[in-house]
Every structure is written in C-alpha cells, then in structure tokens.
Amino acid sequence: MAPSRIIRNAHYDSVLDIAYLPESQLIATSSMDKTIKIWDPVARPYKLTHPKPSGSSKHTGEEEEYTQSNEPFGEIKRIYTGEQVCAKLHAFAMKVPVPNLGGESGFSGKMIDYELLLTMNLSKPQLMAKAMKSPGYIRGYSIERMQIEIPTSRVDDVIPRKYYKELEEFAVEKRRKALVYLQTQLPMALESLKVKGMMKFNSIYTHSCL
C-alpha cells in the first residue's frame, strides 16, 4: 500500500515512534536525532486573491498562490530531549473536573477535555549492578489546539507576540486546574495500581502452587 503523504527531511535520523492525538488532531514523532516533533495533518492553506482582480489567472498566465504559514503536515512544535532519546510515545485523552480555585473546596461540576502526550526517554546503556541498563524518565506534555482570530491587513502577516502570550496564559490556567485534580487523584490511582499489582502477584503465586 502506497503512503498517502511523505514528509521529506522530517528528522535527521531514524524515526523511533509515532503517535496520533485524536482530540487535538495532531501527530507526534520521535527520532534518534533527540527530538520530538508535532505535526498538523489537518491544516488548510488559504488561496490568495487580489482585492481587485484583473481577470482569470488562466488567461493572465499567473499561477495560483496559497498561504505558507498553514501548510498541511507542517511542523508546529519541536521538543529537544537533551542527551536522552525518546523511544516511545503514548497519547491519551480524558475529561477532568474543574476544581473551585476561589478558596472553596471541591469541584465546580464543570468538565474540561485534557489530552496528554507521554514520552519515555532513555539514556545510553550503562553498566549498573553488573548489568547493562538504560536509565531514563517519563514525561507528560499537555496538548491542546486553540484558535483565535487576529485582524490583519496583509496575507501571512507575522502574528504579534501579545497574541501568543494570551494563548499561553489561557493554556497555563487550564493546565493548572487539571493539575489540581490530578494531584488529588494521584494517591488513589497509585494505591489502585498497587492493589492490582498485589492481586496479580497473588494470582500467579496461587496458580503456581496448584
């Protein structure tokens, strides 16, 4: 089966993993070049038209032009992993209750969509306890697609920094609300994993004794 799209020079080394984020409709890739890249497969370029057209482009010999800042499968974010390599990507979405942050305890009853990209980053194999191991860590990145309308008089105009700042502040506030919920649920989630792990161990032990 032939590929429907080829992104040339996407990475400078071998691609290790790829993940699709269904909520934000983005694609994440990791590579041996120690980067994680986020791609937008649903971006749509806009056709450029003159405010006072002089005639059809077919008769004038002019080629149709499109915006360059919204190309399909364009790279929209690059994450550097330092000396470690991201060997595995995993994306999942969940609904998070919005907590009351005005001094009241509990949750407001509202829900927000929250999507995470988990990465497993590994170092070079090292001799540890007489065995070769690859120490590493797992990181989580909150991913969200946001849209704002910016008035402009030019095509492909540079977006002012203040608008990026506005989006960043909005994302940080939403992330802070989700973090409050995750922090309250983490001890119970860890305890649940511990109990499930013990149940699995007991099941294996009982089976081996029969």
* Residue range 17-40, pLDDT digits in tens: 999 999 889 999 999 999 999 999
pLDDT of residue 133: 75
- Which one, of 187, 173, 177, lies nearest residue 95 by Cα? 177
Residue 49's nearest CA partner among 72, 66, 61, 70 is 66
Q: What is the pLDDT of residue 173?
A: 76
**Tell me, what's the pLDDT at 105?**
62
Three-point CA angle 17, 145, 158, nearest 5°: 105
- What is the model's pLDDT at position 136? 82
- All structural domains of the chain with their residue ranges: 15-53+63-209
- Given a cut of 70, the residues of the chain with pLDDT beneath it are 1, 3, 50-62, 98-109, 127-128, 148, 150-158, 177, 181-186, 188-210
> Tens of pLDDT along 141-158?
888 777 767 666 666 666
pLDDT at 209: 39
